[in-house]
Amino acid sequence: MSDLIDDPVEGENAPEFSVSEISGVVKRMIEGEFSHVRIRGEVGRVSRPKSGHLYLDLKDDRAVLASVIWKGVAGRLRVQPEEGMEVVATGRLTTFPGQSRYQMVIEDIAPAGVGALMAMLEKRKAMLAAEGLFAPERKRPLPYLPEVIGVITSPSGAVIRDILHRLRDRFPRKVLLWPVVVQGDRCAPEVAAAIRGFNAMTPGGAMPRPDVLIVARGGGSIEDLWGFNEEIVVRAVAESEIPLISAVGHETDTTLIDYAADKRAPTPTAAAEIAVPVRADLSAHLAALEERRRRALARGLEQRRQRLRDVARALPRAETILGERTQRLDALSMRLPMALANVTHRKRAELARRGGERLRPEALQQDITRKRGDLDRWQGRLLPEVTRNISDARRRLDALGRTLETLSYRKTLERGYAVVRAEGQVITTRKQAAKFPALEVEFADGILPVSTGAGPAKKKPPKPVKGPGGESQGSLF
C-alpha cells in the first residue's frame, strides 16, 4: 500500500487563494499602511475624460505613480495640475484590481513652492501670448470721460472705498459695483462671470451699461493673487468689449490679466485716476482754451480792420466816383421834356398820315356794310342746320322719356304687383318681414299699412294715400 501513495511534497499544505482574494488582501494591506500620505513629484501625463475625474502621473527620475482625483475634489482645487508642474499631493494609496496596479487617490494638490507656481505661470503666459491675447493691437482706448464706471472687487474691502473716494475728488461719476470674492477657489469664476455680466448689459437699458471696467484687489502673496492668473479670467478680459483697467495688487505685483487688460494701473487708487480726469484741471483747461479763443477772435478782427483801412486808402473818394455820373444825370433830365415833345409830335404826324384814309366815315360805313353782308350769308347757312339738330335732339329725348316711363316700377305696380317696405327699407323675403311689427304695402293707387303681429307696432299717424293724380285717398283703418 505504501507504494501506491506518493510522498507528500513540501508546501502542499499552504492555503490556496483566488485572484480576487489575493487582490483584496493586497488592497487592504496597502490602504492600511498608506491611508494618508504626502508625495512630492512632477506632474506627468494629465487626462480629463468626460466623467469629470482627473487622471495624472506623479513621477521623479526613477519611478511613476498613477494617480486619480475624483470629480468632486477636482472642482474644488485652487490650482489645476498641469504637465511639468512640481507639486505636493496629499491623499491615500489604493489598488486597482482590474489592472493589477496600485495608485494614489489625491485629496489635495498644491505647487511645491513659489518656484513651481512661477514656472506654471510662465508656461501659461507663453501659451496665452501665442494665441494673441496680449497683443497690443487688441487693446482699446479708454473713454476720456465715462458716464458709468463698473468696478469688480470685494464689497467689504478698502479697495472700493479708495476708488469711490478718489473718483469723488477728481470727477464724480456713476459707479456700478459687481461684488466678487478676490481670493480662493471662487475668485476666478466669479471675476470672469462679472466681466461677462457687465458686457451682456444692453446699452440704454434700465441698468446703464458701464463705459469702462475696473478689476481691483489689494496686495498679497502670489497664492492670494492666483485667481487673477487663471485662464478663464484672462480670456474673459480679452473678450471684453468694454475697455478694462486691471488694478490687482501693488505696483510690484503682476498677474496675467495685466497683460490682457487695455490698461494696467499700479494700484486701485491709480485706476480711478486713470479712469477720469481731474475736474478742476479740466475746467482750467477749458477756461484757458476760451481765453485763447477770445484773443484769437479779437486779433483776427483787428487784422481784418487794419486790412480794410489799408485797402481803403487805395480807393477813390465816393464824391469823385459819383460826381461825373450826377452831372450826366442832370444834363439828361433837362433834355428829357424836349425829347418827349418831339417824339409825341412825330408819332401824331405818323398816325395822321397812316390812319387818315382808313378812318374816314365813308370808309367805316363801307366796312360795316361788308361785314353785315357776311353775317347775313353765314346766318342763312347755319340757321337751318341748327334748327334741324334741335329737332333731332328733341325726338331722341322724347323716345328716352317714353322708354323710362315704360321701365318705371309704377308701371309694374299697375300690372298687379306691390312693393313692401318696413321702416324705410324694401322687404324682399318673409323672414325679413317677420322681424318688423308693421309693414307698408305700396300698390299702384296708394300705400296700405299692414300689421304682422310680430310685436307692438310703432304708432304713427296714417299717411295720406295719394292716387295717380296726386289726390288724397285716406286710410282704410
**Structural domain count of the chain:** 3
Contact 292, 187 (CB under 8 A): no
Query: CA–CA separation, 152 vs 182, rounded Å?
Result: 9
Secondary element (H or E) of residue 73: helix 71-74
**238-258 confidence digits (pLDDT tens):** 999 999 999 998 888 889 999
- My answer on whether 186 and 273 are in the same domain is yes
- My answer on whether 106 and 177 are in the same domain is no
Q: Residue with C-alpha cell 425829347?
A: 339
**Is residue 461, in this structure, part of any structural domain at all?**
no
- My answer on whether 107 and 126 are in the same domain is no
11 pLDDT more than 60: no
**Is residue 240, in this structure, part of any structural domain at all?**
yes
Contact 421, 442 (CB under 8 A): yes
Mean pLDDT of 186-204: 93
**62-97 confidence digits (pLDDT tens):** 888 999 999 888 878 877 888 878 888 899 999 888
- Domain limit, last residue, from 232, 251, 280: 280
Please, what is the Cα angle at 199 between 275 and 250, to 5 degrees? 40
Sign of CA dihedral 138, 140, 141, 142: negative
Q: Residue with C-alpha cell 299699412?
A: 449
Q: Residue with C-alpha cell 490698461?
A: 263
- My answer on whether 76 and 128 are in the same domain is no
- Domain limit, last residue, from 216, 248, 280: 280
Mean pLDDT of 19-26: 86
| pLDDT at site 87 | 85
**336-389 confidence digits (pLDDT tens):** 888 898 999 888 888 777 666 666 677 778 888 888 888 888 777 777 888 888
Count Cβ atoms within 10 A of the Cβ of residue 424 and give its class: 0-12 exposed, 13-18 middle, 19 or more buried: exposed
CATH of the domain at 45: 2.40.50.140
Half-sphere exposure of 61 (CA within 13 A, CB side): 0
Cα Rg for the chain, rounded, in angstroms? 58
HEC string of 300-313? HHHHHHHHHHHHHH
- My answer on whether 69 and 97 are in the same domain is yes
Contact 442, 419 (CB under 8 A): yes
Q: At what angle do helices 158-170 and 268-275 cross, to 10 degrees?
A: 30
Q: Write down the pTM of the prediction.
A: 0.47
| pLDDT at site 372 | 86
Full residue range of the structural domain in which residue 37 is found: 19-112
**Is residue 104, in this structure, part of any structural domain at all?**
yes
**Is residue 173, in this structure, part of any structural domain at all?**
yes
Query: CA–CA separation, 250 vs 241, rounded Å?
Result: 26
CATH of the domain at 240: 3.40.50.261
Under the banding of pLDDT at 50, 70 and 90, the label for residue 115 is low
**Is residue 311, in this structure, part of any structural domain at all?**
no
- My answer on whether 99 and 151 are in the same domain is no
**Is residue 184, in this structure, part of any structural domain at all?**
yes
**Is residue 380, in this structure, part of any structural domain at all?**
no
- My answer on whether 230 and 128 are in the same domain is yes
**Is residue 477, in this structure, part of any structural domain at all?**
no
| pLDDT at site 460 | 52
